[in-house]
Amino acid sequence: MLKKVFLLFSILCITAISQSQNDNPKLVVGIVVDQMRYDYLTRFYNKYGEGGFKRMMTEGFNCKNNHYNFIPTKTGPGHASIFTGTTPKYHGIIGNDWFSKELLRNINCVEDNSVEPVGTDSKDGKKSPVHMQVTTFADENRLFTQMKGKTIGISVKHRGAIFAAGHTANAAYWWDYDHDGKGNWISSTFYMDALPEWVSTFNASGIAQGYFKTWNTLYDIDTYEESGTDSNAYERVLEGENESGFPHKLDELKNENGGFHVIANSPFGNSLTTDFVLKAIEAEQLGKDAITDVLTVSYSSTDKVGHDYGPNSIEVEDTYLRLDLELERLFIALDQMVGKGEYTVFLTSDHGAPHVPSYLKDQKIPSGLFDLNTMLKDVNDKLYETYQVSDLALSRINNQIFLDHKKIEEHKIDIQELKTRVSQKLLSYELISNVYMTSAINLFPESVGYQEIMLFNGHHQKRSGDVIFTFTPEVFKDTNWNRTGTDHHSGFNYDTHVPLLFFGKGIKHGQTLRRTHITDIAPTISSLLGISFPNASIGEPLEFVME
């Protein structure tokens, strides 16, 4: 009798374990739409089809009040935070670039001279997640499954592929489009010694070259009533064009605008990304067994179009209407290749963006551009008057002043007095609203204001600068590149409020106006999979989105 009971109990346990495994999605797809403001969901809603953004909203869960909880809102920190569930304070990615106190130069967030390029001779292949100090949920899934669950990261931008995929990824692929790029999907020896045959075959197919074509509006341009005029002074004019409006003849413009760069700066960069993603799903057999795989997809061309033309442009609207079709194409393929109801998707963004300052000024809304290079010179001139030491301020990257501590020590300068003088100078500028000595940021009490909390979350004690400052709303740095189009970096709603959509296996249908944070995504997916949270995660699982 006891043997029968024990046998029955064993069968029930095995069944329960099997059922638990079957309850997990076969594939988790994390989609990041670079520079997507939340209101792009609502502003263009009536023009979206039923199979892309609307499918996620009608079948899944819409977190309408989702925000970043740190400064700066940039691509590198954004991707790292989405997939790690924590902020730059812990994961260490404090910007797309930052000033290295050891090397005394700016470094890129994914640069790694210890690895070699794969699939290219360009130094753009010398990249890895070496500077990210924590795990992603994909890393935790790899550990949980004894490395049997695959992870593949894909993006036109290297940082969009690398931080999302994490440290243990089977592969991260990015597009070699910049400078002398050959238009190939590439990687580094951090992941592999040579490109898989399917990637080499894709690169040789000529698919990328096929996107050197004319970019015209998807629909009749007169129907784009959600956006401003087509050609105006707020938008970038490409080399070889006389005005900023449609059509953009990429084949004629490529030689004067960086070759494949013009594809990346158009909606066709997103189409190429989908092409490659679909091939990866097929070739890597993602989602083909009961062990959960992770696929991360970052659509980068939305950011590039936004930087060139700004949120009120017809180019941005057309790019999102075309991206909606790309999402539909992806979801149809997932239905067929993985199985409808067998995968889970989330979609968010790495940051938003403000309107073009000159456009806002014309609408009588306070805004402006700030010349950071002139400011740095002014600061150094002021310090020289006091200390007779040149270039005490080394860098102003990411709205942070990095001081030359070697000179300060050699000349026995009082560091606190120096920081005070820098702070006073910065506060004298009309467009700078607040200045903080970063040595005090870690001592902020819990009762500080919202902006201070965001600075606290974005501050890395070893990597961040000595003094940090914030602009008034709708202000960003003044460069030749930034005088048209837009930028991003701040803690204001236009930069922090981004979409968060979940749909697929294990996800309820619904919506909420409850405030959620970007750091909640990774622990939510971890909870869905029943795995450990990323090791520095500070977010909360959003249990109300799960069945």
The confidence score (pLDDT) of residue 450 equals: 82
Give the pairing type, strands 293-299 and 343-348.
Answer: unpaired
| Annotated active-site residue in 75, 136, 151, 296 | 75
CATH number (3.90.1330.10, 3.40.50.850, 3.40.720.10, 1.10.486.10) of 37-66+110-209+261-352+497-513+523-545 reads: 3.40.720.10
Handedness of CA 516, 473, 81, 351 (dihedral sign): positive
- Torsion, CA 529, CA 531, CA 534, CA 536, rounded to 10: 130
The fold of the 368-483 domain, in CATH, is: Gyrase A; domain 2 (3.30.1360)
Enumerate the H helices of 335-473 as residue ranges. Answer: 357-362, 372-387, 405-410, 415-427, 438-441, 450-458
- The residue behind tokens 């346990």 is 13
pLDDT value for 13:
39
| Residue spans per domain, the chain | 37-66+110-209+261-352+497-513+523-545, 368-483
Rounded to 10 degrees, what is the CA torsion of 453, 458, 463, 469?
-70
Half-sphere exposure of 73 (CA within 13 A, CB side): 32
β partners of residue 471:
432
CA pair distance 495, 350, nearest whole angstrom: 9
Let me know if the fold of 37-66+110-209+261-352+497-513+523-545 is the same as that of 368-483: no
Q: How far is the C-alpha of 45 from the C-alpha of 40, rounded, in Å?
A: 8
- Residue 179's pLDDT is 67
For residue 304, the model assigns a pLDDT of 97
| Residue 263 identity | I
What residues in the chain have per-residue pLDDT under 70? 1-22, 179, 446-447, 480-482
> Strand 61-67 and strand 510-517: pairing?
parallel
How far is it, in rounded angstroms, from Cα 96 to Cα 114? 19
Q: How far is CA 545 from CA 192, 424, 514, in A?
A: 37, 47, 12
* 75 among known catalytic residues: yes
Q: In which residue are the tokens 């520095």 written?
A: 536
Q: What is the pLDDT of residues 342-382, one digit of tens each?
A: 999 999 999 999 999 999 999 999 999 999 999 999 999 99
Contact criterion met (CB below 8 Å) for 431 and 471: yes
Ramachandran class of 151: left when φ > 0, alpha when ψ lies in -120 to 50, beta otherwise: beta
Q: Quote the CA–CA distance of 73 and 491 in Å, as a whole number.
A: 7
At residue 488, what are phi and psi to the nearest 5 degrees? -165, 155
Supply the DSSP symbol for 358: H
- Where is 184: in which H helix or E strand? strand 184-188
Please choose, from the candidates 258, 284, 254, 126, the residue with its C-alpha nearest in 3D space to the C-alpha of residue 190. 126
Look at residue 478 in the predicted model and tell me its pLDDT: 84
CB contact set of 14 (below 8 Å; sequence gap of 6+): none
Report the 10 Å Cβ neighbour count for 181. 19
Cα separation of the two ends of the chain: 39
Angle at 70 between CA 510 and CA 81, to 5 degrees: 65
- Using one digit for the tens of pLDDT, what is the confidence trace for 148-200? 999 999 999 999 999 999 999 999 999 999 767 889 999 999 999 999 999 99
Nearest CA-CA partner of 461 in 439, 444, 491, 434: 439
